[in-house]
Structure 1
Amino acid sequence: MAADTADIKAWLDTVTVAPAVRELRPDYRALVVVAEGLLPGPSDEASERLLASAEERVRALLADTAPEDHPHLAAWREAFRAFGAKPQRTRPSAEALLRRAPAGLPRVDRLTDIYNAISVAHVLPLGGEDLDHYRGPARLIRATGDEPFETTAGGGTVIEHCPPGEVVWSDDAGVTCRRWNWRQCVRTRLTLATTRAVFILDALGPMGDAELAAAGEALTDALVASSPGASVASRLVR
């Protein structure tokens, strides 16, 4: 059953970042945006315009610069190395998208297209998940190695376990996103049936609070334009 706005705000209050993650990157902030009353569907003209605009913007931004040399992406590479990940093999989500932008970003569905466009245009990792498939609050932690992660391999669903110390988003049922913002689980991914979603915008030191807030506003505006009547709430988690 869909929750009302008060329930959304109550859920937002339960989102936490573990002290072990704060010790790793004291400059980390998450802007968590929750929306209900969304209208899911295939990519459309509006999401196409957002993606095309983001592609044009990043071509100009990175005309003479490699994506990994952008200050915010360089900071994310450092963060990945700090917990043992190799960013040249498992890239922060924003870097992976920016590398694809010159040749064209993927067209997935209208909600995914929206958050991918905002991620690229504002050069920050941004993920979206189906809130109705969450079990309890979202927590950013360092894995113990026991938490299950549901993914796909060989055309089927498989359960993996993250190495101890990896930074992961999790809920009561397991890991929802590995390596901070690298790969989302199958269980909570957005689908063509999603009407309630949580979006997490990740920022490190080179991105100021004002820039993070601007990205959040752009996301909120795009969601409401795509789904008139949608309810949106947000919280900055430090």
Structure 2
Amino acid sequence: MSTFSPSIDPSLSRIAPGFRALSILVEAAPLLHPEVAEAALKQACKDVVENDVPWAAAHLDAWHEVFKAFGAKPKRTPNSADALRKRVLKDGDLPAIDPVVDLYNAISIRYALPVGGENSEAYVGNPRLTFAEGNEAFDIMKEGEPTVESPDAGEVIWRDDKGVTCRRWNWRQGIRTRLDSKARHMWFILESLPAMPQEALQQAGEEFIAGLHSMMPGAIITTQYLSAEG
């Protein structure tokens, strides 16, 4: 895991000054307590409705402005946290998918915070957040069939040496690096803007790590703060 080193293009500070992220690398252990994720997801959905964090609306609005700054339409392609929370507010809850995915979705919902989870073993080279040239490969499923498409030129993407791993910053993840609880090496990225307090990002990370340790005792976890400013 020591060679896995995410980075952020410094030029992103032009459209998202003050952007910071918490990178979490996990060497997984046997998943002994999946019920931890189920409980966290139920509580997060309840909190959104009954006891939401005070910065939620401001943080999601700030993400909308960042998306507009690189040409995306946030109402049509919302960031991942916004999309999850809209489903919760509409339906009252979110169905379980996979314990690891459910746990990071719970953090995303509770903290109004885009959270990505990836199988780091599927990466070719290191992940980097940057502007797309427009010819990078992005693998998705479309109408039940695997398809390769490309991002728009100037779009913000996460990518590695092989292609795009997540389009429109944190809107849609690709298939190749998709994560589930069977992965041996996992990478998570918690992404925030200044509208969310720095201490809240730290708290979200600590809560997520505690949940991982509870689910898979013995997991080895390392963290790193990232920003466009270096």
- The one-letter amino acid paired with 2:219 is A
Q: How does 1:72-221 map onto structure 2 within 5 Å?
A: 72-102=59-89, 103=91, 104-221=93-210
Render the CA deviation track for 1:161-191: whole Å, top value 9, x for unaligned: 0010000000111010000100000000013
Matched to 1:160, the amino acid is E
Gaps (5+ residues) in structure 1? 1-7
Structure 2: give runs of 5+ residues left out of the alignment: none
Q: What is aligned with 1:30?
A: 21
Matched, 1:48 2:38: yes
Q: Deviations over 1:108-149 (max 9, x none)?
A: 000000000011111100010101101111100000011100
Match of 1:5 in 2: none
Structure 1 counterpart SS, 2:153: coil
Q: How many pairs were matched up?
A: 225
TM-score norm. by structure 1 comes to: 0.89
Instruction: Determine the C-alpha separation between the residues in 2 that align with 1:214 and 1:122.
Output: 9
Q: Is the 8 A contact 2:28 2:183 kept in 1?
A: no
| Matches of 2:44 and 2:87, distance apart in 1 | 11
Aligned-partner SS, 1:198: strand
- Please give the per-residue CA displacement for 1:204-223, whole angstroms capped at 9, x wherever unaligned: 01112211111111111111
- Letter aligned with residue 237 of structure 1: L
- Per-residue deviation at 1:193? 2.4
Percentage identity across paired residues of the two chains: 39
Select 2:12's aligned residue among 21, 28, 53. Answer: 21
> Aligned to 2:62, what secondary structure does the other structure show?
helix
* SS of equivalent to 2:191: strand
TM-score between the two structures when normalised by the length of structure 2? 0.92
CA apart distance, 1:62: 5.3
* Contact 1:40–1:191 (CA under 8 A) maintained in structure 2: no
Q: Distance in 2 between matches of 1:51 and 1:93?
A: 15
In 2, Cα distance between the equivalents of 1:215 and 1:55? Answer: 15
Of 51, 57, 61, 2:47 maps to 57
For residue 121 of structure 1, what is the amino acid of its counterpart? Answer: R
Cα separation, 2, equivalents of 1:34 and 1:192 = 14
